Amino acid sequence: MRKILFLALLIPPFCATTFAQSADDYYKLEVYGGYSYARQAPNSGTQTVTEGPDTFSFEPCTPDGAGILGSNVQGIFCDRRGFHGFDASVTYNLTKYIGIKGNITGHFNTKTVADDFGAGHVDTNRFTNRTYNFLGGIQIKNNSKTGRFKPFLHALAGIARQTSHDVQTSTAGFNFTLDDRVTSFSMKLGGGLDVRVSKYIDLRVVEVDYNPVFARDRDVPGNADFDLRVAGRTAHNFTIGFGIAIH
């Protein structure tokens, strides 16, 4: 009888300890910040120019597009370019393996190009490009407090805010500025690897993502003597980065 009573007294604290361990053996919150490099594709297709009563359209990535824009400016609208920036996120883990993630990224590129159209006519364009993503979704990861290597996957969706400020100076007097601004649906699909380096800090060795931006059609305001409308196209972007995760 005494043995039974003794065991009965041991069971409640034992169960409480076991439950506490199972509830607290993973991190509930993760805050991440790091460097991100993006390879971004252009987000514009057909361009329609209206000057007074005249309107014409052209595809930038064609020989006609090179003749109108200049071959170097054409590269801005047709070639994938490198952007440097940041990646920051907060994840609340619902379970040991599943978390709700909010993510913000920013990528930046500035480039100056010049095109010689002959007869002393040279146009110089300085493009200042910015891309911000505001995303949310699911992260799958082993958030154990004792695990050392922690691969993860995530699927995020939200909006991208993209801006392009173009300043043209021309020896022929064709000076103007254009401001292309568009807010579009975007996604981020990928993952990476974290390595625990201390009780509360993980090193994100690498994160690789596919970041498509589904750009919309839009008008491009500026002080030029023509009006410009740009057809949106999907930009198939890719990012790679590293940083620190704090629990």
Residue 20 class from Cβ within 10 Å (0-12 exposed, 13-18 middle, 19+ buried)?
exposed
User: At a CB cut-off of 8 Å and minimum separation 6, what does 41 contact?
Assistant: 80, 235, 236, 237
Whole-number Cα distances in Å, 6 to 10, 11, 15, 17, 211: 6, 9, 15, 17, 61
Q: Which amino acid type is present at position 54?
A: D
State how far the Cα of 60 lies from the Cα of 180, in Å rounded to an integer: 15
Residue 35 phi/psi, 5-degree rounding, is -85, 145
Tell me what percent of the chain is helix, strand and coil, each rounded to the nearest 5: 15, 65, 20
Q: CA-CA distance, 235 to 44, in Å (whole number)? A: 8
pLDDT number for residue 70: 94
Three-class DSSP category at 4: helix
Residue 140, exposed/middle/buried by CB under 10 A (0-12, 13-18, 19+)?
Answer: middle
User: What CATH number was assigned to the domain covering residues 24-246?
Assistant: 2.40.160.20
Residue 22's pLDDT is 55
Pure H helices in the chain: 2-23, 63-69, 71-78
For residue 168, pLDDT beyond 50: yes
> What SS3 class is residue 85?
strand
Is residue 3's pLDDT more than 70? no
The structure's pTM equals 0.87
Question: Please, are residues 73 and 61 in contact by the beta-carbon 8 Å criterion?
Answer: no
Give the HSE-up count for residue 50: Cα atoms under 13 Å, Cβ half-sphere: 9
Q: Do the beta carbons of residue 209 and residue 189 sit within 8 Å?
A: yes
Separation between Cα atoms, residue 109 and residue 61, nearest integer Å: 20
Please tell me the predicted confidence (pLDDT) of residue 8: 44
Which of these ranges, 11-20, 93-102, 192-201, 234-243, has the smallest mean pLDDT?
11-20
Numbers of helices and strands, H then E, in the chain: 3, 12
What ranges do the domains of the chain cover? 24-246
pLDDT in tens, 19-72: 444 557 899 999 999 999 999 999 999 999 999 999 999 999 999 999 999 999
Q: Which residues contact 156 (CB under 8 A, 6 or more apart)?
A: 101, 103, 135, 136, 137, 138, 187, 188, 189
